Amino acid sequence: MIRLTRRYLFAASHRLHIPSLSQKENMDLFGKCANPYGHGHNFAVEVSVKGPLDPKLGRVVDLAALDHLVDAAIIQPMNRRDLNKDIPEFAKELVPTTENLMAVMMDRLKSVWPNNFPHLDRVRIYETRKNTFEIQNI
């Protein structure tokens, strides 16, 4: 296995709440994450792609192309945004937990992933330094 991992940073706010529940019920469920005006994190996303290695160029992926793709699909749209209000996937029922954010990011990445790109092997999201979410062997 030869695998390259690239890290991307973005900052965003979110509020965990289910619109059909009362504020008290939401607080019982999500604690301080349901505070009415939301809160923010410095998120980091690691995108890992697996070989083969191009022996002549000595690389597994066109890094500029990968950066452009990830930036356009998930970083630019989410950086300095409110996930609940600014990201269409979270506009209705879907709670913007980082688990659900992972699902949204995976959908977005898969829908633009070129056929000639190396295999997307792992996505890992750091919500804070204490909370990490990842999907491997995608």
Partner 1 sequence: MLITRRAEFSASHICAVPGFSPEENFAIYGDEASPNGHGHNYVLEVVLDGTPDPRTGMIIDLKNVKEILEEEVVKPFDHRHLNHEVDAFKTVVPTPENIAIYIWDRLKPHFEGTNAKLALVRLRETDDLYVEYDGTLI
According to the binding rule CB under 8 A, does residue 59 interact with partner 1? Answer: yes
* Residues 62 to 101 in contact with partner 1, rule: CB under 8 A: 62-64
Query: Is 110 exposed, middle or buried (CB count within 10 Å of its CB: 0-12, 13-18, 19+)?
Result: exposed
> Tokens 């909370």 label which residue?
131
Q: Of the candidates 23, 25, 40, 53, which one interacts with partner 1 according to CB under 8 A?
A: 53
- Token pair of 15, please? 């509020």
| Of the residues 24, 56, 92, 130, which one makes contact with partner 1 according to CB under 8 A | 56
Residue 1 as a binder of partner 1 (CB under 8 A): the answer is yes
CB of 61 to partner 1, least distance (A): 9
15 touches 38 (CB < 8 A): yes
Give me 69's structure tokens.
């793709």
Binding residues for partner 1, per CB under 8 A? Answer: 1-8, 50-53, 56-60, 62-64
